[in-house]
Amino acid sequence: MELSIGEMLLIAVAIVVLFGPDKLPQIARDLGQGVRKMRGAMEDVKTEILKETDNPVAEIKREIDKVKQAAKDYNPLADVENKEALAERAQPKVNLAENDEHEGPVSR
């Protein structure tokens, strides 16, 4: 929306006629404050939109870092070692010196 100089002059004359020359400085101050508030609100909205659009990228980066850390901490032999240790604990210890049933190795 573009206003020509003549249209702006007509609006200014209408404001002076409607509100009077005494109220003109106060109207200009209020109008200036309103414009500043609108600009501030627009900047806040713009900042918020930029944060929201940047957020998924940061979230993906955090997830990648978690996966990398999990890969560093992963030890595939730990499961095997744990199972072997559990199997050893589950088998009863037999003292062969006290057990007469054990025949030992057969020699030929």
In this prediction the pTM is: 0.40
Confidence of residue 15 (pLDDT cuts 50, 70, 90): confident
- In the chain, what are the domain boundaries? 18-90
Whole-angstrom distance, CA of residue 83 vs CA of residue 76 = 12
Confidence of residue 89 (pLDDT cuts 50, 70, 90): low
Tokens of 83: 């199972």
